[in-house]
Structure 1
């Protein structure tokens, strides 16, 4: 059943991504009808003399004691079946060839059945010197967390929070009250830093602040806008009776703005469509940005070579955007002029979330 469910997740995630695929909005357009993502409510003030030299731009990012060669990572996707093991192998090869960190999908299948370990181990085998993140849910015991880290010789451990997915999942969990205690026990038990992430419904600022006291090192806000696991799990239900939860949660930009200054370094994922969204997330305070749907769709439909080409293109375009904005490093993007519009601004105003301010008088 687990293997079938994991294969279903891949099939439904790719179909969902393709159904919402669109071209990036033109930079000069303000037409609300063109806004298909909260990221489109984040805009850069263009300063024609702000640009720098491309050879002065570095993509290295440092946070939580780590230095990554790029501020982009392949986020958690899959594992647990023969097909998903092949996907993990190819994702790891692509990460190795481009220098990206990579996270496995949930390792719950391995913790339940060690015979499927070989659907996860290719991530480390194919990316021996890269940054690898193991992934478990908050129901895992400390001993299971250590097993997951040990299987991959992982550099960090992701704990994913997915109450909405579990509730809609026909065979999902129904008890979540013990999760804070479980997270704290895991952080004490493992010898690597712990990243807590959502699965596409967003981490609020209040949640991030609470994670600080549980020993968590990094938070991945993982907001709404990408793969909708409520929709995926609802598609597996006989009567699809949870459709009203489609679109639940905080968008990634909203979660980033709410979580800034709450005590943890932030990663951003969820609804990242192209390098402009990566740049926007970095400007809103993320230390690095993850994506899954665009990369999975390319791999499944076009193959490994196409995925490697896509990743290299994203990195090249990210460096180009940093060049015209005058940011010599990813952290330098936090100093560029950003303004927030539309529904995202309304959200921030309603919740009294401070908005980015111009760094100087450019009038």
Structure 2
């Protein structure tokens, strides 16, 4: 049953991504172009660091699958691509392994085929502390993801219906394990209130994982006999909205959900994310073109992200938070309703005084101060 469900998830997710229009709220975020902002490519680094974690790049392959023969093959190929491209990777939910240890190898391949990479185990919020440690041990994991997914569980025919224990259990796990704990949504987003609650629970970081990527409420509704939860399709906030909503977060934010291009990666970083993940798009590339195609996509994205940083005058991913941003459309309406001052995002770069030579790299804000974290008081 669990293995069939995992295969169904992959099939339905691919159907979604093949039918997607490609438009989401990242398109309502644009950089102000400063024509003399550029810096030299050799001065650009892609390295990012947060909460004691150091990654050579701010891009990661986010949680997908595992638990069946087919999904084990997918995980093996994802791990190979992560190794070749040098990006971190997260497992799919390991609940199947915790219930049935015979499927351990479908997850273990993430480590055996990527022995020196940064690997994140993934569990749900009802997992016991012992179960969390078993998942960590199986992958020799460098970090633990705990996914929260009420909008997926609700239409899931065999889903959870008791959510009150999730917060206390997250707190227990975060206090017990000795590696970083990252709590992530599965595509419906984290509000600022949710992020503050997670900080109080003692987690290391939060992946906002907003609307715009794989819609798991829609997937689970597709598994129902009468598909009677169609009204939950599109539930939640977009990734861009979540990052704007949680500018005052006291824990680092990662971003995933609807990330389609290196420009979306740069947008998310400029909105305050410390790293950006993708799942469905990478899975489609792997499915259509194999491991080589995914490695090419990952390395191309990293090269193009460095090119964007060069043009924008951002020596590091964190420096993108000093670039001027314009917020448009429904995303701007969201900000108005949530009390977010978008004008400050558009005016992060100081205007040079008359007769002052600023030099390349200052026009975009990368060398001119006024970072998002300084603006909002965030400690990220």
> Same fold, TM exceeding 0.5?
yes
Structure 2 residue corresponding to 1:160, chosen from 122, 128, 147: 147
Structure 2 matches for 1:157-236, cutoff 5 A? 157-236=144-223
**1:289 lines up with 2:293 in the alignment:** no
Structure 2 matches for 1:79-98, cutoff 5 A? 79-98=66-85
* 1:288-345 residue CA offsets vs partner (Å, 9 max, x unmatched): 0000011000111111111111111111111111110000000010011111111101
Residue 100 of structure 1 and its aligned partner are, at CA, apart by 0.4
Structure 2 residue corresponding to 1:109, chosen from 91, 96, 103: 96
What is the match of residue 9 of structure 1? 9
What is the match of residue 251 of structure 1? 238
What is the match of residue 358 of structure 2? none
* 1:130-154 residue CA offsets vs partner (Å, 9 max, x unmatched): 1110000001001000100011110
Structure 2 residue corresponding to 1:360, chosen from 324, 339, 349: 349
User: Alpha carbon RMSD of aligned pairs, Å?
Assistant: 1.0
Unaligned runs of 5+ in 1: 23-35
Contact residue 123 and residue 146 of structure 2 kept, 8 A: yes
What is the match of residue 375 of structure 2? none
What is the match of residue 30 of structure 1? none
Residue 354 of structure 1 and its aligned partner are, at CA, apart by 3.2
Residue 234 of structure 1 and its aligned partner are, at CA, apart by 0.6
Structure 2 residue corresponding to 1:339, chosen from 314, 326, 347: 326
Give the stretch that moved more between structures: 13-22 or 152-161: 13-22
Structure 2 residue corresponding to 1:268, chosen from 255, 259, 266: 255
Structure 2 residue corresponding to 1:306, chosen from 293, 306, 321: 293
Contact residue 67 and residue 106 of structure 2 kept, 8 A: yes
What is the match of residue 25 of structure 1? none
Whole-Å Cα distance in 1 between the matches of residues 21 and 102 of structure 2? 36
Residue 213 of structure 1 and its aligned partner are, at CA, apart by 1.3
Whole-Å Cα distance in 1 between the matches of residues 237 and 290 of structure 2? 32
Contact residue 322 and residue 349 of structure 2 kept, 8 A: no
Residue 66 of structure 1 and its aligned partner are, at CA, apart by 1.0
What is the match of residue 28 of structure 1? none
Whole-Å Cα distance in 1 between the matches of residues 253 and 173 of structure 2? 20
CA gap of 1:49–1:68, structure 2 versus 1, over 3 A, is same
Whole-Å Cα distance in 1 between the matches of residues 50 and 168 of structure 2? 26
**1:326 lines up with 2:326 in the alignment:** no
Instruction: Specify the SS of the correspondent of 1:121.
Output: helix
Residue 161 of structure 1 and its aligned partner are, at CA, apart by 0.3
Whole-Å Cα distance in 2 between the matches of residues 113 and 230 of structure 1? 25
Whole-Å Cα distance in 2 between the matches of residues 279 and 52 of structure 1? 16
* 1:68-109 residue CA offsets vs partner (Å, 9 max, x unmatched): 010000000000000000000100110001110000000000
TM-score, with normalisation over the residues of structure 1? 0.95
* 1:10-68 residue CA offsets vs partner (Å, 9 max, x unmatched): 0110110010054xxxxxxxxxxxxx211011000001100111111110001110110
What is the match of residue 132 of structure 1? 119
Give the stretch that moved more between structures: 353-362 or 343-352: 353-362
Contact residue 244 and residue 271 of structure 2 kept, 8 A: yes
Residue 361 of structure 1 and its aligned partner are, at CA, apart by 5.1
TM-score, with normalisation over the residues of structure 2? 0.91
Whole-Å Cα distance in 1 between the matches of residues 76 and 315 of structure 2? 33
Structure 2 matches for 1:49-68, cutoff 5 A? 49-68=36-55
Residue 195 of structure 1 and its aligned partner are, at CA, apart by 0.2
Tell me the matched-pair count.
Answer: 350
Contact residue 272 and residue 321 of structure 2 kept, 8 A: yes
